[in-house]
Amino acid sequence: MLSDRVEELRREGEETLEGEEFRDERAEGLDLCDLEFTDVIFQKCRFVDCRFSGSSFYRVRFEGCDFSNCSFTDSRWKDCALTGCKGMGADFRASHWRGCRWAECALPMANFAQSIWNDCAWRECDLRQSLWMECRLCKWTAAKCDLTGVSFFRTPLKGVDLSRCDIEGITVSETLSELRGLTVGAHQTVELVKLLGVKVGD
């Protein structure tokens, strides 16, 4: 069990969990802070009130897992894949991501504020009401994602293509500077016009 392995690591003064697979486990109130996960697979695991703050993930796969309301603040991720997961209200503030892929995940109201992204892709994910304030997005892509009500306050969207996403009700600063260089579809311009306070008639 994951809890037993973590307890063993702590007891031995180790911080790295490598090359292991965990399936159909439930972890509750587990302290996973400041650990390093390398080549680890989590399948259909549920994490309840668990803390991953300060942990590092390298070539880790989360498949069909639920980590809603868990904390991943200040975590580091590289070459990871998260598929079919739930993370409602999860806290990813100040996390760093490189070469990671998210697919068919549901993370409404998750907090990604001040996170940094490089060469990462999102596909068919539910990100409604999530927070993306003061983020750095480099080679960040999103396709068929629900971004309804997302806050991109002080997050430059230059070079980002959201033409295949739902962007209804997104929020940015009063200057709208975040939108410079953003690519959207013609059908989405009505939503952006609303940010100017302009009412569009039928």
Q: For 38-90, write each residue's pLDDT tens digit.
A: 999 999 999 999 999 999 999 999 999 999 999 999 999 999 999 999 999 99
Residue 200, pLDDT > 60, answer no
Q: Label residue 24 exposed, middle or buried (CB < 10 Å: 0-12, 13-18, 19+).
A: exposed
Q: Which of 48-52, 59-63, 148-152, 177-181 has the lowest mean pLDDT?
A: 177-181
**pLDDT of 188:** 80
Looking at this protein, which amino acid is placed at residue 143? A
**pLDDT of 197:** 59
Domains observed in the chain: 16-194 (2.160.20.80)
Calpha distance 127→82 (Å, rounded): 14
Sorting pLDDT into bands at 50, 70 and 90, what band is 198?
Answer: very low
Calpha distance 143→166 (Å, rounded): 10
The reported pTM is 0.92
**pLDDT of 191:** 73
Q: If you average pLDDT over every residue of the chain, what do you get?
A: 93
* C-alpha 197 chain-centroid distance: 30
Residue 11, pLDDT > 70, answer yes
**Exposure string for 136-154, b = 16+ CB within 10 A, e = fewer:** ebeebbbeebbbbbbbbbe
171, 162, 167, 164: which is closest to 137 by C-alpha? 162
Residue 16 tokens read as 């790295």
Residue 202, pLDDT > 70, answer no
Q: Where are the beta strands (DSSP E) in the chain?
A: 16-18, 21-23, 26-28, 36-38, 41-43, 46-48, 56-58, 61-63, 76-78, 81-83, 96-98, 101-103, 116-123, 136-143
Residue 80 tokens read as 């990871």
Residue 146, pLDDT > 60, answer yes
97, 166, 179: which is closest to 127 by C-alpha? 166
Residue 33 tokens read as 């802070």
